[in-house]
Amino acid sequence: MTWTTIRKRPAGDPPPNLPDYAAARANFTWAAARAELEGLPGGGLNIACEAVDRQVHAGRGAAIALRWLGKTGERREFSYAELATLSDRFAALLRQLGIGKGERVCALLGRIPELYITALGTLKAGAVFCPLFSAFGPEPVRVRLHKSDARLLVTTTTLYARKVQAQRAELPALAHVLLTDLDAAETPPAATQSFQHLLDSAPTCGITLDTRAEDNALLHFTSGTTGSPKGAVHVHEAVVAHRLSGRLALDLRPGDIYWCTADPGWVTGMSYGIIAPLVNGATLVVDEAEFDARRWYSILEQERVNIWYTAPTAIRMLMKVGAEAAQGHDFSALRLMASVGEPLNPEAVVWGQETFGQPFHDTWWQTETGAIMIANTRSQDVRPGSMGRPLPGIDAAIVRRLPGGGIAVLDIDQPGELALRCGWPSQFRGYLHDAARYQECFVDGWYLSGDLASRDADGYFWFLGRADDVIKTSGHLIGPFEVENALLEHPAVAEAGMIGKPDAFAGNIIKAFVALRPGFTPSDALRKELIGFARTRLGPAVAPRELEFMADLPKTRSGKIMRRLLRARELGLAPGDVSGLESDDAEQAES
Ligand code: ATP
Ligand code: MG
């Protein structure tokens, strides 16, 4: 099926932050973007200062920075001034505990206010913040605390008892554990302290910030979709790109109500769940609860969310629940809906248009890029299935690695590896303990992303698949995205994943795995129907030859389909690193 471009009519909304793409690119310099930041006296730079203190200095201290929605209906709000003070105090307490510049502070917390205070305070202290997703099991937690040489961990009593305590002896660098939920009268368990008590007794006066732009600030582990998670290191300079991309790709402006559904355990939840919106003066909506379609629709309506940043898996879950759940809600406050993390199938883009009156705007980036690189922005027409165009300041190209070294830049519509010209501020500065792997990502001044894509004549980029997931069948090179998209157009299909299965004749055949929408049950007839449906759309060479039904596809905890696990199961291979696998259950896959 050919999807038509969605032309957007000007609404009553304010004009977009990026009205003229070509002019913005032509006139762009990173020096000018950097000059928009406040900076520190003496030329330093600090992400948290730009995120909260700057708003206070600009007279916006009373504006709401964080609106927290608890699982059971509680509501708490923090102004920019309050967040500035609390993060100052957390920074002061880190200094009192002897946490030095560049040392790692980890948080193993659900989406609660203490997480935000810890992140910002750590950055202010000049230590490196490393978020851990609270649903990780004990082993992934231990591995990450160990790899990062964490000196201090902020967590809760329950998470500590379940996931850390028994392994504490194996973590000699971990000098301090602070628990967020102890009552004032409660004695902390052995070798822990009360977060609240220490915070309350920390000095109230501001602390001196002394970070430089090139100082390490953040350590993010990748999702582990293609293999073992890598620890990507980012510096304070990254905030230049956070601010710019938040403004241009997400259209953020002061006073916006903004909801990013990603957990800060992943890079999206940090770069766009905390930093970019605060740097741009927005109010963060933070929902402590897990996904629930009805709850989400209510939040969008009742909080009057203006900008919503979510992910394809969540969108497909909403689609699976059915459009009825969205009916009757008032989404008129929504100015922009955007998505990241996985390929966004055209069906989902168009569903956005039908359900909310506007399409989802796909954006592309990675843990390594630190910020959005390619986006469909508010002012431009959306081509469903395309990731959009590179933001001002970003040079992207489609390249091929040459056998003798070096790369060749490919022409329009040629499939190849998506590469970015080095030098953007949020470019990662290393993989933790893996210098060789880091070096392999760079050729002739370009960063090679490991994703395959093509670029059309108008400069829009189209995702084909991860280099590891692309398969060769009967001489054709096939990316999973187009096969999965075709299946997702069928009304019975909620999720689809594709792998190559070795075949003596064709080299590989395509096998698809499908989860059905409610109301459909697996049967041979439906299998045949789906294969036939894909054939008419894709042709016999590209259509799946085999199709298996599953209740759910295996996903990383950040919501990405793990095709390597489908492949391993199908071929009876070892599953590899499953530390990032979604609950059900990492141990099962390991056994
Ligand atoms: P690992 O590197 O450990 O295998 P990961 O690549 O999934 O994990 P992330 O950095 O969280 O870890 O994800 C970045 C990847 O997500 C991209 O390289 C790309 O494959 C995919 N991705 C992100 N946004 C998009 C998008 N808009 N369209 C298609 N794929 C996307
Ligand atoms: Mg990756």
Nearest ligand 1 atom to the CA of 268 is: 11
Q: What is the mean pLDDT of residues 74-82?
A: 98
- Is the model's pTM score more than 0.85? yes
CATH number of the 471-590 domain:
3.30.300.30
Phi, psi of 569 (to 5 degrees): -65, -45
Percent of the chain with pLDDT over 90: 83
HSE on the CB side for 130, CA within 13 Å?
A: 29
The DSSP bridge pattern shows strands 283-287 and 64-69 to be parallel
325 by DSSP, 3-state: which? Answer: helix
Q: For residue 189, is pLDDT > 60?
A: yes
Residues sharing a CB contact under 8 Å with residue 522, sequence separation 6 or more, in sequence order? 516, 549
pLDDT classification of 590: cutoffs 50, 70, 90:
very low
- Comparing CA positions, the residue from 43, 45, 150, 147 lying closest to residue 94 is 150
Higher-confidence residue of 578 and 564: namely 564
Q: Which long-range contacts (CB under 8 A, 24 or more apart) does 291-299 make?
A: 291/261, 291/317, 293/317, 293/318, 293/321, 293/325, 294/325, 296/261, 297/325, 297/326, 297/329, 298/329, 299/69, 299/259
The neighbouring-strand residues paired with 523 are none
- 564 in contact with ligand 1, CB cutoff 6 A: no
Instruction: Please determine, for residue 301, whether its predicted confidence score (pLDDT) is greater than 50.
Output: yes
- 560 within ligand 1 shell (Cβ under 6 A): yes
Closest ligand 1 atom, residue 374 Cα: 27
CB 28 within 8 A of CB 393: yes
Distance, in Å, from the CA atom of 286 to the CA atom of 307, rounded to the nearest integer, reads 13
Three-class DSSP category at 69: strand
Contact 238, 47 (CB under 8 A): yes
Q: Of 496, 270, 238, 216, which is closest to residue 369 (Cα–Cα)?
A: 238
Nearest-atom number in ligand 1 for the CA of 230 is: 3
More confident residue, 135 or 172: 172
Query: From the CB of residue 187, how many other CB atoms can be counted at a distance below 10 Å?
Result: 9
Candidate of 144, 218, 220, 223 to mutate for ligand 1, largest count of ligand atoms within 8 Å of Cβ: 223
* Complete DSSP assignment for 7-44: PPPP-SSPPPS-S-HHHHHHT--HHHHHHTS---TTS-
Work out the average pLDDT over 520-545.
Answer: 93
State whether the beta carbon of 251 lies less than 6 angstroms from ligand 1: no
Q: Over the range 56-69, which residues count as b (16 or more CB within 10 Å of their CB) and which as e?
A: beeebbebbbbbbb
- Which of 495, 565, 460, 580 has its CA nearest to residue 141? 580
Omega of the bond leading into 183 within 30 degrees of 0 (cis): no
Confirm or reject: Cβ of 222 under 6 Å from ligand 1: yes
Q: pLDDT tens for residues 455-513?
A: 999 999 999 999 888 887 777 778 888 899 999 999 999 999 999 998 887 788 999 99
Where are the CATH 3.30.300.30 domain residues in the chain? 471-590
> Does residue 264's CB lie within 6 angstroms of at least one atom of ligand 1?
no
What is the per-residue pLDDT for 9? Answer: 61
Is residue 89 within 8 Å of 82, Cβ to Cβ?
A: no
Q: Report phi then psi at 53, rounded to 5.
A: -60, -40
Closest residue to atom 18 of ligand 1, CA basis: 366
CA dist., res. 342 & res. 364, Å (int): 8
Q: Look at residues 556, 459, 590, 491 and name the one whose alpha carbon lies nearest to residue 224.
A: 556
Query: Are the CB atoms for 398 and 453 separated by under 8 Å?
Result: yes
CB 177 within 8 A of CB 192: yes
Position 591 scores a pLDDT of 26
CATH of 21-454, one of 3.20.20.540, 3.30.450.20, 3.40.50.12780, 3.40.50.720: 3.40.50.12780
φ and ψ at residue 251, rounded to 5 degrees: 60, 30
Distance CA 447, CA 518 (A): 42
Sign of the dihedral through C-alpha 209, 248, 427, 345: positive
- Kindly report, residue by residue over 171-186, the tens digit of the pLDDT: 999 999 999 999 988 9
Average pLDDT (210-214) is 97
Measure the CA–CA gap between 477 and 489, rounded to whole angstroms.
Answer: 22
What confidence score (pLDDT) does residue 588 get?
36
CA 155 to ligand 2 centroid distance, Å: 27
| Helix residue ranges, H only, 59-169 | 80-96, 113-125, 138-147, 157-163
148: left (phi over 0), alpha (psi -120 to 50) or beta: alpha
Domain with CATH 3.40.50.12780 in the chain: 21-454
Q: Is the distance from CB of 500 to CB of 477 less than 8 angstroms?
A: no
Q: Are 315 and 360 in contact (CB under 8 A)?
A: yes
Q: CA–CA separation, 444 vs 304, rounded Å?
A: 47
Ligand 2 centroid to residue 443 C-alpha, Å: 17
What are the tens digits of pLDDT across the range 32-50?
999 999 999 999 999 999 9
